[in-house]
Every structure is written in C-alpha cells, then in structure tokens.
C-alpha cells in the first residue's frame, strides 16, 4: 500500500516474489491496477488520498473484533499509559484535537502529554536535594537541566531532565488510557465507512482484514512496505502512523517477517538523509541548531533535545563527538566545543519554501546537484519562473537538464512569459561523474551500508560530488584565509582534510580525488588523542576525547583494515557478514520484541533474538540469536524499571523500544508530530468530495499553504475541475527523466507522456485511445496522449461517481523522449511535519485537446 513496488523497486521486489513462492500472501491496495497488482493475491482499489480511512478501518476492525495480539500490545506498546485528562480527540471537537490555534494553524501539544500527576507527588526531587532547597513548585525539566553543573560532564544535565513516571492502567479499562482513546478515536471507521470514502467493496476490505490477522500473532508475522504514495500527502506522516499503529496492534514490529519498510526512492537516499541533506537535521537525525528553539548554547541545545529516559540519553556524547569531528582541535570545552560556530536554521528551508523565496527574489544563488526542480518541483511552472530571479545557478548533472536549460528551452520562454534576453541568471553547468566512477558507500532502504569501488575514471572534466564538495570547501577556505571576522571563524576551523594517499589514486587519471576512506573514518569516529578508529557508538564520550561524524554509522570502520561496508560474506538468513547495517549492524530494529517479556521467543517458528540465561562471556546471561540484539546485551528480561534511572535504566528488561522515552511503541504519540497524536482522515487540500468523517474539517487543519496568485487551489465541488488525479512513476523512467529520457534504450520503452483514464471516463468525454487530451488544474494546463485502460475505474464516493485519472510525471523538454511537465499541475501545499508536497492527490479536468 502506498507503493507500486514491482514498478518502482523491481530489484527489491524479487524478495517479495520469493516470499510468494514460499506461500506468502501479497496484498496490493492502490488507486490503479499496476504491475504490482498483477502479481498480488489480493488487489483492493481505493481512491487516492483515502488511505487513513482504510488503515483506520483495519485498526477499528482489529480492536472491535479483539483480534489484536494482546500480550504484545499490553507489554510493548503504550496502550496502558494514561494521557492528560484535558486531551480532547478529533471525535470530540468535530475534526481537530485539543490545543489548536486557528490563527497560526498550529497545535500546542501540552494536552497530549502523558499523565504524570500522581507520581510527581511521590517522586523525590533529585535537584532540590542537591541544591539543598525545597521549592514550592517543581521546576520544568528544561530549567532543572540548565541549573545542573556541566563543567566536567553532561551527565548531571541529563539526570536533571528525568521526569516523573507516567501513570498506567494495565487493565486497559481507564477511559483516558491510550488504548481506550485509540478505540474511541477510530470507532467510526467502519467497513461501511471504508466503502463509502475509499470506494472499495466492503468484502475486499474484510478479506484484507482477515488475511492480516490470520498472518499475525505468535506464529506468524506480516510486513508492510510503502513509498511516496503514502508520504506525498498533506497528511502523509499520519498515514504512515496509522500503519505503525496497526502493526503494533498486530504485534509485527521488531519481529522477523514483520515491520514497516519505507521504500525510499533514490539510490542511497537513505545514506543522504543519514548524513544529512535534510535541512532540519544534522548527522544521525539530531536536530539542527535553530534560532527558533532554545538552542542558544550547547547546554541549552542538549537540555532541549536530550531524551533522558531512552538511549537518546547519550545525546551529549553524540553531539560533542560530532562537534569534535566538525571543528577538530579548535573545539574545546572552553568554547562550548565550537557550538557557537555551527550554523543555525531560521525557518523552514526545505525545497518548497526555498523556491517560494527564490520566486520572491530573496535568494541570490542556488546549487542544483542531481536535482531538477524545473520538472521535479511541484507547481513546476512557478519554480521555473523563479529560477530567472537568481543571480547565479550551478547545475551538476550528467546531461543538460531542464533546470540547466530553462533560460532558453522552458515552456515559459517558448510561450513568451519569460524572455531569454531578460533573464539575468548566470548559469554554470558542471558535468557530474556516475557512481561507478568514484568510490564510496551506498546505504539502501533497510539501512544497509555497502561500499562500492571505483570502476573507471569519469570522462573529461566530469567529477564526483565528493571531489566537487571537497574542492569547493578548499577554495572557499582559501578565500576566507586571514579573515578575523567572528562569523568566518567557523568556516576557517572546519576540519577539511581528505587528501588521498598516493596509493589510492595510482591507477586513476584523476589524482586529486578525495579519499572516501578518510571520510568514512571521520563518520565512523576516532579517538582524538591517538587517531584510532572507534569500535562503535558505545565508545563515544561527551568530554571531547572522541570525534564522530555520524553516531548511527559508528562501527562501520572499526579498524583501518576493516571496512565492514565492504565485507561480502552472505549466509542463507540475516547475513550479518554482508555490509554494515546501522545501528551497530542490527538488521531488525527493536528486535527484543521478537521475544516474550520473559525473554523466550513468541514461537519457535518466529524465534529471532532471545535471552540465554547462561549466555555471554561471563555466562551470567545474554541476549543471543540470529541478529545483533537491539538491547543492552546482558540486561535480563526481568530487570526492573528504575524511577530514578537515567537512560535505559529507566526502562525495564521487557521494554524493547529503547529509543523511545518510555521504551514502548506508541499507539498514542504525545510528541514528535505536529498534526495530532493519532491519525484522523482529512481530504487532500484539493479534493472532489467532502470529508465524510469530519464535515466541518475538510482538510488537515495544520497543513502548510502558500497564498499566492500562482498557487490557487480549487474548492470542493468546483465543476471546472471535477476529476481526482494522482501522479506516479513507471519502471522504465527515473524521476524527472534526467537519466532515463536521455538514454535511448530506456527512452524507447516509454517514449511519450500519457494520462491513464478509465473507459467510462473516455466514453463520457468522447476520448479515444491515443487521442491528445488537455489536462488542466488551477495552476497550469498540459497536453498528453490518452491511454484508455480498464485498470483505472471510477469510484463511488459518498454516493456519487468520482472519476480518477493518473499520470506518470517523468517528462520534460530535453532528451530523446520529451513531453509536457506534469508537476506543473500540482500546487504548493505541504505536510506540516516534513514539508512534503501532495503530488498524489489533487483535482483536474481532462478534455480532448
């Protein structure tokens, strides 16, 4: 669901096919019948954008029919945790949660927090004892932490952050416990509602529900895979959340054959978010220092960001080691480990807001490295017009992309909206090397790092991204040399030495290619005094004696001659000897959940990691199994939770979710999401139908929108745009087509842009197969060939017939296979959590051209 895996991840799909051949059932739930549906055992058609109703329907069915995995839910999720009594659900408030501010379109999540009231009265206050003062009211954790003495270590800060224990009801009867709240929240997501809003037959929904529960429990597990058909919505994150809740109820997380796999869409995009290209995080998903948060000093940053009762209690070690890796010897305890030099973010710098700023003339220059916003950006016309406002633009790619050539070839230039003579942007096109023309690591979608060797020199002036970035840094440093301005000191002191050993470039033409292994060493971490490689993140310190570029990768390169990413020792199961799976080579995260609370496997059939009472070097007990246990290796399953414990001591030996503050999976999410602790169904920002669940709240109350003339949205029921439209990818092409439309062998497989329409719609509009048709939205109008196919069908939603069309969005104006740009049709709206666009569901009109 939320993915067309066979088409978009065909090589990974081989494992799905093998599972099928071993008897697994494949279910595909999608607006269209695709090449994945063709090999699925069960195919369920749903209207694009109605995923939360379907998943919520499953959650409701599982709860109402008591088919959830009771022991798992009770012990491993926060089902029993009691929530703040002031919490109000969307069911109580006609579609919004408590804490909503309509003016700012944001939530204050204070009422979503755990109820810690009772415990608070009983818990001794550690800090006040230290200070010798009895306060009238307890301080907020942040303030307590700021008062702690961090002159030698940050441990006192972490300890001061430890909150009172939350209240729980193990009987799951308390009306304010997460389980009961969840149950009430999804009570109206009945099979009938699913049929009404999703448009799929009730029988199919029930078949899916029954199949899921038949394949869950102690003896069996089921897994889910999703991709951008879940993420590219204004409620995208909540769709994934709904799946998370469902898998928790079914007991499928942390167990072999279970889990939720995010099928990421680019080669090594996992590596790119790990080491990050996302604006809002630094390496290892730590928050980027921001002027909008209490991040002024390192102490403030740590007081804000550290979770004291999970493995994240080690945040100070990760952060200080990161700063040492960044600034080397110039980072000392005296200067806050150079935290003051580290850049800060000042808002949402993700792609869409950035391009809006470009459109408004606020950005001078841009690097487009392996990115093609002229085709890949939403409301692409706006983005193409925006490019003309830049003073300079650097494009690095294999071919002269649409972005590099917008100034003479874009539709805006050809139709006179922009004139080449008037565009003042200076454009630099730098040829890029392919990934076989350089060495490096590649992290795939299940967190596996594999090293790839350099096979050939790139031709001519083409260079790798590594070379480019390194050279850019070197030359900028030269330009900054000698500056005494405070704001330049950070750049000048940035560690920046990745020169290759002569042996590394002996056989190659390009002699100044930076050393990938030196970069990997910095990422892995090393002891500052000796330069020795660190064995893993367990060795990190918060006193500046260790440096580590990315704590989650630590352990990949534990010795100069042991690059684990390059190891290739497979076996017929987990293959721990093949590559390196972060963190610490654990393949399934939270795999403690594959064993019962008492440490024994849930079933022999599904044994994965378990407690051996005689295990370990000292034979006093250890976790053993097929994978690296994702748990403190010698912590027994019956270890008690310590109310005064810091980090994992806070959690018991039966709480697998060690990165969460309470060691539990979250049915109810008190923090982390900006649009609600539980998923609720909202229609996409543009939809042809009313929200049947919350008539008073049509779309997400917190989604981000840019009010501009060139970004108008159609209202519900606008007769000018009556059809639902979804955009997607084909196997034959890759994203904006910069690689595939330029390669004749791929271009000829799908040479022309098309729009897939159902035979019913074709008949209504008098459109024959292969006719040129015009597809239009409030933003733009494009032409495409009609592909009339029975794989698409009209839906009956809320009693009305709703037509849905679909378009693959790979085409642009350069290359062998050219065509109109589909993303010109969509709008600039964003999911508030991750600023993701909504290319998967909006409205349009289709007519003969």
Partner 1 sequence: MRSLFNLPPLVEQQQIPAQPQVGDAPVPGSPVSATGTGTPAAPVSFQRGQSVGFFTDTTLCIGCKACEVACKEWNQLPAELDAKYFRLSGNSYDNTVALSGTTYRHVKFVEQFELSNPNRVGGRWLMMSDVCKHCVQAGCLEVCPTGAITRTEFDTVYIQKDVCNGCRYCVAGCPYGVIEMDQDGVAGKCTFCYDRLQAGLTPACAQACPTASIQFGPVSELQQRADARLLQLQQAGRTQARLYGRDEAMLGGLNSFYLLEDTPSTYGLPEAPHLPSRNLPATGGLGLVAAVLAGIAGVLAMRRRRIDSVEAAEEAR
Binding site for partner 1 (CB under 8 A): 6-7, 10-11, 13-14, 17, 21, 33, 35-39, 43, 45, 200-201, 204, 570, 572, 730-732, 744-752, 754, 759-760, 769-770, 785, 787, 789-791, 793-794, 796, 816-817
Closest listed residue to residue 427, CA positions, set 406, 452, 398: 406
- Nearer to partner 1 by Cβ, of 33 and 706: the residue is 33
C-beta of 12: minimal distance to partner 1 in Å?
8
| Cβ atoms within 10 Å, residue 692 | 17
For residue 544, give every residue at least 6 positions away whose Cβ sits within 8 Å of its Cβ, in sequence order, or none. Answer: 320, 324, 331, 332, 333, 337, 528
Q: Which two tokens stand for residue 528?
A: 């500052």
> Among positive and negative, which fits the CA dihedral 668, 652, 170, 246?
positive
Query: 428 pairs with which residues across the strands?
Result: 394
Which residue is it, tokens 């995208």? 236
Give the three-state DSSP class for 700.
coil
- Nearer to partner 1 by Cβ, of 571 and 847: the residue is 571
C-beta of 224: minimal distance to partner 1 in Å?
19
Backbone angles phi, psi at 286, to 5 degrees: -70, 150
C-beta of 781: minimal distance to partner 1 in Å?
20
C-beta of 731: minimal distance to partner 1 in Å?
5
How many Å apart are CA 91 and CA 693, to the nearest integer? Answer: 9
- Nearer to partner 1 by Cβ, of 35 and 779: the residue is 35
C-beta of 434: minimal distance to partner 1 in Å?
15
Q: Where does residue 264 fall: left (phi above 0), alpha (psi -120 to 50 degrees), or beta otherwise?
A: beta
- Nearer to partner 1 by Cβ, of 502 and 790: the residue is 790
C-beta of 820: minimal distance to partner 1 in Å?
14
- Nearer to partner 1 by Cβ, of 43 and 623: the residue is 43
- Nearer to partner 1 by Cβ, of 40 and 366: the residue is 40
How many Å apart are CA 784 and CA 776, to the nearest integer? Answer: 11
- Nearer to partner 1 by Cβ, of 413 and 805: the residue is 805
> Among positive and negative, which fits the CA dihedral 340, 343, 347, 348?
negative
Q: Which two tokens stand for residue 207?
A: 């078949």
**Going by DSSP bridges, is the β-strand pair 426-431/392-397 parallel, antiparallel, or unpaired?**
parallel
Query: 260 pairs with which residues across the strands?
Result: 224
Asked whether 579 and 565 are in contact (CB, 8 A), the reply is yes
C-beta of 806: minimal distance to partner 1 in Å?
13
C-beta of 11: minimal distance to partner 1 in Å?
5
Which residue is it, tokens 């390059």? 566
C-beta of 329: minimal distance to partner 1 in Å?
46
- Nearer to partner 1 by Cβ, of 549 and 812: the residue is 812
Asked whether 279 and 349 are in contact (CB, 8 A), the reply is yes
| Omega before residue 583 within 30° of 0, cis | yes
- Nearer to partner 1 by Cβ, of 559 and 770: the residue is 770
How many Å apart are CA 633 and CA 615, to the nearest integer? Answer: 10
- Nearer to partner 1 by Cβ, of 140 and 770: the residue is 770
How many Å apart are CA 642 and CA 800, to the nearest integer? Answer: 57
- Nearer to partner 1 by Cβ, of 356 and 746: the residue is 746
- Nearer to partner 1 by Cβ, of 165 and 264: the residue is 264
393-402 burial string, b = 16+ CB within 10 Å, else e? bbbbbbbbbb
Closest listed residue to residue 81, CA positions, set 150, 170, 11: 170
State the SS3 of 201-223.
CHHHHHHHHHHHHHCCCCCCCCC
Would you list the DSSP string of 661-726? TTSSB-SS-SSS-SS-SS----B-SS-SS--SS-TT--B-TT-EE---GGG--PPTT-TTS-EEEE
| Cβ atoms within 10 Å, residue 791 | 16
- Nearer to partner 1 by Cβ, of 487 and 569: the residue is 569
Q: Which two tokens stand for residue 30?
A: 């999608």
Which residue is it, tokens 């309509």? 102
């Amino acid at each position: 669901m939320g993915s067309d895996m066979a088409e978009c991840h065909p090589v990974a799909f081989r494992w799905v096919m093998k599972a099928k051949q071993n008897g697994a059932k494949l279910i595909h739930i999608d607006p269209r019948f695709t090449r994945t549906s063709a090999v699925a055992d069960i195919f369920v058609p749903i209207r694009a954008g109605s995923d939360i109703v379907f998943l919520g329907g499953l959650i409701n069915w599982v709860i109402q029919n008591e088919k959830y995995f009771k022991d798992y839910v009770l012990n491993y999720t926060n089902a029993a945790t009691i929530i703040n009594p002031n919490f109000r659900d969307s069911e109580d408030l006609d579609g919004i949660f408590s804490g909503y501010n309509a003016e700012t379109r944001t939530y204050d999540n204070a009422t979503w927090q755990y109820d810690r009231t009772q415990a608070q009265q009983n818990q001794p206050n550690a800090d006040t004892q230290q200070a010798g003062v009895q306060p009238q009211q307890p301080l907020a954790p942040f303030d307590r932490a700021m008062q702690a003495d961090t002159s030698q270590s940050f441990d006192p800060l972490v300890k001061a952050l430890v909150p009172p224990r939350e209240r729980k009801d193990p009987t799951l009867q308390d009306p304010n416990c997460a389980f009961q709240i969840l149950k009430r929240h999804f009570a109206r997501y009945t099979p009938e509602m699913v049929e009404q809003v999703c448009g799929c037959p009730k029988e199919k929904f029930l078949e899916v529900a029954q199949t899921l529960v038949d394949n869950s429990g102690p003896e069996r597990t089921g897994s889910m895979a999703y991709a951008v058909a879940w993420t590219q919505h204004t409620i995208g994150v909540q769709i994934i959340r709904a799946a998370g809740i469902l898998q928790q109820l079914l007991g499928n997380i942390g167990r072999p054959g279970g889990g939720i796999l995010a099928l990421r869409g680019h080669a090594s995009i996992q590596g790119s978010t790990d080491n990050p290209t996302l604006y809002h995080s630094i390496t290892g998903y730590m928050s980027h220092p921001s002027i909008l948060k209490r991040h002024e000093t390192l102490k403030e940053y740590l007081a804000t960001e550290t979770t004291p009762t999970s493995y994240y209690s080690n945040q100070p070690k990760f952060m200080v080691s990161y700063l040492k890796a960044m600034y080397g010897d110039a980072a000392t305890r005296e200067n806050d480990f150079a935290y003051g030099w580290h850049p800060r973010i000042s808002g949402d710098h993700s792609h869409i807001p950035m391009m809006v700023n470009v459109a408004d003339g606020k950005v001078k220059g841009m690097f487009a490295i392996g990115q093609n916003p002229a085709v890949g950006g939403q409301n692409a016309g706006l983005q193409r017009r925006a490019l003309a406002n830049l003073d300079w633009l650097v494009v690095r790619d294999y071919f002269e992309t649409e972005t590099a050539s917008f100034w003479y070839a874009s539709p805006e230039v050809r139709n006179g909206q922009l004139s080449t003579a008037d565009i003042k942007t200076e454009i630099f096109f730098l040829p890029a090397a392919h990934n076989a023309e350089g060495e490096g690591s590649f992290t795939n979608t299940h967190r596996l790092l594999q090293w790839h060797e350099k096979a050939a020199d790139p031709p001519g002036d083409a260079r790798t991204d590594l070379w480019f970035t390194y050279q850019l840094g070197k030359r900028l440093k030269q330009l900054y040399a000698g500056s005494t301005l405070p704001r330049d000191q950070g750049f000048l002191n940035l560690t920046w030495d990745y020169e290759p050993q002569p042996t590394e470039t002996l056989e190659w033409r390009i002699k100044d290619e930076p050393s990938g292994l030196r970069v990997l060493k910095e990422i892995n971490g090393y002891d500052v005094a000796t330069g020795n490689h660190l064995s893993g993140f367990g060795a990190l310190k918060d006193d500046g004696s260790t440096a580590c570029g990315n704590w989650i990768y630590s352990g990949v390169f534990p010795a100069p001659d042991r690059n684990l990413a390059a190891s290739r020792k497979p076996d017929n199961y987990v293959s721990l000897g093949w590559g390196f799976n972060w963190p610490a080579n654990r393949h399934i995260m939270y795999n403690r959940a594959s064993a019962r609370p008492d440490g024994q496997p849930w079933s022999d059939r599904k044994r994965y990691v378990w407690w051996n009472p005689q295990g370990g070097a000292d034979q006093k007990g250890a976790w053993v199994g097929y994978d690296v246990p994702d748990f403190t290796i010698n912590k027994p399953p019956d270890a008690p939770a310590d109310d005064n414990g810091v980090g994992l001591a806070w959690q018991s030996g039966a709480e697998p979710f060690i990165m969460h503050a309470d060691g539990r999976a979250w049915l109810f999410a008190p923090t982390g999401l900006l649009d609600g602790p539980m998923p609720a169904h909202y229609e996409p920002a543009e939809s042809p139908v009313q929200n049947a669940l919350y008539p008073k709240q049509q779309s997400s109350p917190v989604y981000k929108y840019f009010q501009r003339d060139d970004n108008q949205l159609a209202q519900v029921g606008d007769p000018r745009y009556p059809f639902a439209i979804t955009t997607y990818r084909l196997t034959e092409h890759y994203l904006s087509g910069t690689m595939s439309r330029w390669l004749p062998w791929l271009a000829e497989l799908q040479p022309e842009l098309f729009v897939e329409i159902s035979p019913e719609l074709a008949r209504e509009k008098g459109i024959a197969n292969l006719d040129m048709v015009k597809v239009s939205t409030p933003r733009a109008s494009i032409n495409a060939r009609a592909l009339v196919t029975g794989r698409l069908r009209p839906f009956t939603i809320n009693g009305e017939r709703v037509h849905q069309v679909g378009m693959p969005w790979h085409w642009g104006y350069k290359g062998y296979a050219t065509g109109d740009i589909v993303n010109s049709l969509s709008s600039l709206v964003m999911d508030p959590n991750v600023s993701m666009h909504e290319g998967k569901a909006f409205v349009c009109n289709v007519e003969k051209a």
